[in-house]
Amino acid sequence: MSALPPIAAIDVGTNSIHMIIARVGARGTLHVISRDREVVRLGQSAGDIKHLSADAIERGVQTMERFVAMARQHRAFIRAVGTSAVREALNRDVFLRRVEERTGIRIELISGEEEGRLIYVGVIHGLPLVERQICLCDIGGGSTEVVVGRHGNVLFVRSEKLGAIRLTEQFFRHGRSSDHVEQC
């Protein structure tokens, strides 16, 4: 095992917040210590994905407090990234400021392309696929990333504003109807 401290990666998404705490082994392999997920639905309840509701902000901040406390128990280096809902919300600064005030952690906003690259890196470190050319499609709450990579290099990445929460809020906010399905 490595003498390096563990790392905690926190993904603040439109639908949920994920955290993985792991140690990096001698050959760069990850040894997972803990994997956690909390559904917070940051992108829901505000009528559109451009505004985070007060309730969603509080749910997100409380989850970040729990996750950061867990990471600190392991003395982990913490990196938190915000994806679609946070990067697009007009009131994102309220959420980001509250998280930093209550946890001391600054969430880094990443582009959809960087999100896709990180997805690829995570997959090739978790599965024996680094030597193969692979195509990945990650459907999130606010966006979908398509990535093609080979031998550890990203050859193509595209991020589109098509996600489960975004489409639900746009077309099925008041339940499903045949008109909404046709519109979608």
pLDDT tens profile 112-164: 999 999 999 888 877 888 788 999 999 998 899 999 999 989 999 999 988 88
How is the chain split into domains, by residue range? 7-183
Query: Given CA atoms 44, 45, 50, 56 in this order, what sign does their dihedral have?
Result: negative
DSSP helix/strand/coil, 73: helix
H or E stretch at 153: strand 153-160
Beta bridge partner(s), residue 117:
none
More confident position, 44 or 75: 75
State the DSSP code for 24.
E
User: Is beta strand 7-12 parallel, antiparallel or unpaired with respect to 16-24?
Assistant: antiparallel
User: Which residue from 156, 93, 91 is spatially nearest to 119, judged by alpha carbons?
Assistant: 156
What is the pLDDT, as a whole number, of residue 30?
Answer: 78
Specify the pTM: 0.86
Determine the average pLDDT of the residues in 163-181.
72
pLDDT tens profile 88-104: 999 999 999 999 999 99
pLDDT tens profile 54-91: 999 999 999 999 999 999 999 999 999 999 889 999 99
7-183, what's its fold?
Answer: Nucleotidyltransferase; domain 5 (3.30.420)
Rounded Cα distance between 18 and 138, Å, is: 14
Is-contact 120 136, C-beta < 8 A?
A: yes
Segments in 127-157 forming alpha helices (H) = none
Is-contact 142 165, C-beta < 8 A?
A: yes
User: Cα angle at 97 between 94 and 98, to 5 degrees?
Assistant: 85
Q: Please list, in sequence order, all residues whose beta carbon lies within 8 angstroms of the beta carbon of residue 150, skipping any fewer than 6 positions away.
A: 132, 133, 134
Is-contact 110 69, C-beta < 8 A?
A: no
pLDDT tens profile 6-25: 999 999 999 999 999 999 88
